[in-house]
Amino acid sequence: MTKNNDRNAVVRDCLLSLLLPGLGHIVRGWWRKGLLFWLFLAAMGGTLYLAVLRGRLAWLAGPSEYWFSTTMLFLFFAILWLWAFFDLRRSIRASDEKSFVQGYWQIVSRRFSKDPKGLVGLGIIAIVCYVAIFAPFFAHGNALKMDLVNFLAPPSAQHPLGLDNFGRDVLDRIIFGTRVALGIGGVATLLNMFFGGFLGLIGGYFRGVPDAVIMRILEIVNSIPFLVLVLLIVSLWGAGITTLIVVLGIFGLQPARIIRSEVLSVREEDYILAARAVGAPTLRIILRHVLPNAIASLLVVTTMTIGVNIIVVAGLSFLGFGVRPPMPSWGAMLQEAQEFMRSAWWMAVYPGLCIIITVFGFNILGDSLRDVLDPRLK
């Protein structure tokens, strides 16, 4: 045991960490991690300040939209404190033992932290998620408040991104739009991965007749452009968030192909043969041996699919078949902007930029994950 790791020093540093997350790390000389904790702390402190300043810190009272954000804010603070504490303890212990063996995920995380592409993507996504969760704290008013006197006012100090044709603040609508984009994109992608993963696993693992049937179904669904199919179905079932999520979730079967091809190669591995030889039941083989080894490509596909879904939802809303008008969604904002192209450029430019940045974040993260998770590139 080194001098730095005697009991008193450890207790002191852990107490410091409880006092202020990151302090313990810095005392021990882990500057990067400690400063990262301070960065998070500063961001959340700023959010808390904004919330208090605008009188939106609601606790069991006030509009329900403030509730969620308030709860999340305090939850985030709690997580930050605990995380700093436990991370410090774990790091101290790890510095004691000399381990030269690295697991797959350790290698991956080390490679990821050196890849600027992935970090940029992760940063963008983190910021967008943060804005979505704390939308009511960041927005000036709310997304629906109209100012019918100053409609179509250009960007000014008070309204940095201008007002739209109903006098609604474009920035506020963009801020609340993050919730719609990420919510629909995220939930639809979960459904995609569930259905697509299921079909891909079944087809890839069992091959033969089930595979042929599944592949024909995929071909049928894939033969019409995805946007046209979704457009058609949404126009039949009526627009709305639930319909959008269900339709995107069920018919977005692109992931199934990729998962299938991944499973096809995994099932030929020797360890699957070994598991089968031992007499493991099929379900166990699929869940314990095939799935974890296909997780890398699942992760990449999930990230990319979120981006695709956000773009498709924006396209549908732009065509008038997605999110219904009063609700602030980036695609619907662009649809409204089309009419005022000649007089109000700010209505068209900013929502589009937000779509690009968000989708770009997911795409670049997916791209980086693909490189990082590739086990061949050690």
Partner 1 sequence: MFGYMVRRVLQMAVVLFGLTLLLFVLLKTMPGDPARIMAGLGATPESIEVLRHRLGLYDPLYVQYWRLISGLVNGQLQAMTYHKPVWTVIMERLPATVELGVAAVILALFVSIPAGLLSAIYRNSPLDYVVTTAALMGISIPVFWFALMLMMVFGVILHVLPVSGRGETLFGWSFLTVDGLRHLIIPSVALSSVLMALNARLTRASMLEVMRQEYIDTARAKGLRERVVLIKHAFRNALAPVVTNIGLQVGAIFAGAVLTETTTAWPGIGRLIYDSILRRDQSVVFGLALFMGACYMISYLVVDLLYAYIDPRITYD
Task: Give the C-alpha separation, 281 to 285, whole Å.
Answer: 6
| Binding flag, residue 295, partner 1 (CB under 8 A) | no
Nearer to partner 1, 114 or 342 (CB): 342
**Considering the complex, what minimum distance in angstroms separates the CB of residue 26 from partner 1?**
33
Q: Which of 216, 242, 281, 339 binds partner 1 (CB under 8 A)?
A: 216
Which of these, 138, 136, 137, 144, lies nearest to 163 by C-alpha position? 144
Token pair 């979960």 is found at 190
Task: Give the C-alpha separation, 236 to 69, whole Å.
Answer: 35
- Asked if 164 contacts 152 with a C-beta cutoff of 8 angstroms, the reply is yes
**Per CB under 8 A, which of residues 221..250 are in contact with partner 1?**
221-229, 231-233, 235-238
Q: Tell me which DSSP letter residue 163 carries.
A: B
**Considering the complex, what minimum distance in angstroms separates the CB of residue 219 from partner 1?**
5
| Binding flag, residue 217, partner 1 (CB under 8 A) | yes
| Binding flag, residue 219, partner 1 (CB under 8 A) | yes
Task: Give the C-alpha separation, 145 to 135, whole Å.
Answer: 15
**Per CB under 8 A, which of residues 303..322 are in contact with partner 1?**
307, 311, 314-315, 318-319
Nearer to partner 1, 290 or 304 (CB): 304
| Binding flag, residue 334, partner 1 (CB under 8 A) | yes
- 3-state DSSP helix/strand/coil % of the chain, to nearest 5: 75, 0, 25
Task: Give the C-alpha separation, 85 to 304, whole Å.
Answer: 34
Distances (CA, A) of 307 to 2, 137, 192, 211, 259: 49, 26, 13, 28, 18
| Binding flag, residue 356, partner 1 (CB under 8 A) | yes
Distances (CA, A) of 302 to 191, 223, 239: 10, 22, 25
**Considering the complex, what minimum distance in angstroms separates the CB of residue 302 from partner 1?**
17
- Asked if 244 contacts 316 with a C-beta cutoff of 8 angstroms, the reply is yes
Nearer to partner 1, 355 or 369 (CB): 355
Provide the β-strand partners of residue 163.
Answer: 169
**Considering the complex, what minimum distance in angstroms separates the CB of residue 216 from partner 1?**
6
**Considering the complex, what minimum distance in angstroms separates the CB of residue 332 from partner 1?**
12
| Binding flag, residue 195, partner 1 (CB under 8 A) | no
| Binding flag, residue 377, partner 1 (CB under 8 A) | no
How many residues bind partner 1, per CB under 8 A? 43
- Asked if 165 contacts 340 with a C-beta cutoff of 8 angstroms, the reply is yes
| Binding flag, residue 174, partner 1 (CB under 8 A) | no
| Binding flag, residue 355, partner 1 (CB under 8 A) | yes
| Binding flag, residue 123, partner 1 (CB under 8 A) | no
Please report, as ranges, the residues that interact with partner 1 according to CB under 8 A.
Answer: 216-217, 219-229, 231-233, 235-238, 307, 311, 314-315, 318-319, 331, 334, 337-338, 341-342, 345, 348-349, 352, 355-356, 359-360, 363-364, 367
